[in-house]
Amino acid sequence: MPDALVLHGYFRSSAAWRVRIALNLKGLAYTQQSHHLRHGEHKAPAYRALNPQGLVPALEVGGAVLTQSLAICEFLEERHPTPPLLPADPLLRAQVRAFAQAIACEVHPLQNLGTLDRLRTLGLEEATVQAWARDTIDHGLAACSALVAALTGPYCFGESPTLADVVLIPQLANARRFGARTDWPRFAAIESACAAHPAFAAARPEAQPDFE
């Protein structure tokens, strides 16, 4: 009997959104527990007992708890290799990982709720905080667009979605939320292809039970 999967997240969290996409692409059933980030529910002792970082997502599986969205996605890839999120070719695998990490490690942490709240605490005006987020996203997406500019296919790295697309789509939503650019080369076509894919459609924030 397969392990029951419980995803702890929040409908708007782009990190949790990534994991929902990956779970859907793998065709895995899971239940969700919501932790409202705006209400600070992710900081509650009961949740910190699961994830000491107090961040979403966390995935309960087989009596264990996994944290960090990319680590969770790689676990799913190793446990359920079909359909693959990473190409078989080692060079392409590294390139897909680099694209995903550019967003998940370099862009998203600098424009997420915790960082922006710290900037406000330091006394920065809201317009400056919003500009910080917008400029961070613009810089990161410009680089990511260049990484895939010479490639073809409906998705970032060819004919099927990879970890790169899993990470890109939520970040494009963040870009819109902060008024950053989204009209980078190839990204409109990639986003359109992903929107038509059932796994991506089912992972969208408005399709989640805690959407508001």
Whether the Cβ atoms of residue 5 and residue 62 lie closer than 8 Å to each other: no
Cα 24 versus chain centre, distance: 13
Residues 6+ away with beta carbon under 8 Å from 100: 70, 163, 164, 166, 167
Give pLDDT, residue 191: 98
Give pLDDT, residue 3: 81
Give pLDDT, residue 58: 98
Look at residue 1 and tell me whether its pLDDT is greater than 50. no
Q: Residue 52: how many CB atoms within 10 A of its CB?
A: 10
Note the pLDDT tens digit of each residue in 12-46: 999 999 999 999 999 999 999 999 999 999 999 99
14 token code pair: 């782009």
Q: Where are the beta strands (DSSP E) in the chain?
A: 5-9, 31-34, 58-61, 64-67
Task: Indicate the CATH number for domain 90-200.
Answer: 1.20.1050.10
The predicted model scores a pTM of 0.96
| Closest of 150, 145, 197 to residue 168, by C-alpha | 145
Note the pLDDT tens digit of each residue in 153-206: 999 999 999 999 999 999 999 999 999 999 999 999 999 999 999 999 999 999
Q: How much of the chain, in percent, has pLDDT values that exceed 70? A: 99
**Domain extents for the chain?**
5-83, 90-200
Whether the Cβ atoms of residue 137 and residue 111 lie closer than 8 Å to each other: yes
Q: How far is it, in rounded angstroms, from Cα 191 to Cα 134?
A: 19
Fold held by 5-83: Glutaredoxin (3.40.30)
Band the pLDDT of 2: cuts 50, 70, 90.
low
Whether the Cβ atoms of residue 188 and residue 181 lie closer than 8 Å to each other: no
